[in-house]
Amino acid sequence: MRGGRVVLAVTGAVDWATAGALRATALEEIAAGARKLVLDFSLLSFWDSSGMGAVASAYRSASQVGASVALAGLSPTLEKTYRLTGMDKVVPLHHDVRTALTA
Q: What is the pLDDT of residues 5-14, one digit of tens each?
A: 999 999 999 9
Strands 93-94 and 68-72: parallel
Q: pLDDT tens digits for 54-87?
A: 999 999 999 999 999 999 999 999 999 999 999 9
What span, in angstroms and rounded, lies between the C-alpha atoms of 25 and 17? 14
When pLDDT is cut at 50, 70 and 90, the band that residue 1 belongs to is: low
Q: What is the largest CA-CA distance in the chain?
A: 33
Residue range of the domain that includes 87: 5-102
Q: How many domains does the chain have?
A: 1
Cβ-contact 24, 55 below 8 angstroms: no
Domain containing residue 45: CATH number: 3.30.750.24
Residues 86, 93, 53, 75: is their CA dihedral positive or negative? Answer: positive
Q: pLDDT tens digits for 22-62?
A: 999 999 999 999 999 999 999 999 999 999 999 999 999 99
Helices 49-64, 19-31: inter-axial angle, 10-degree rounding: 10
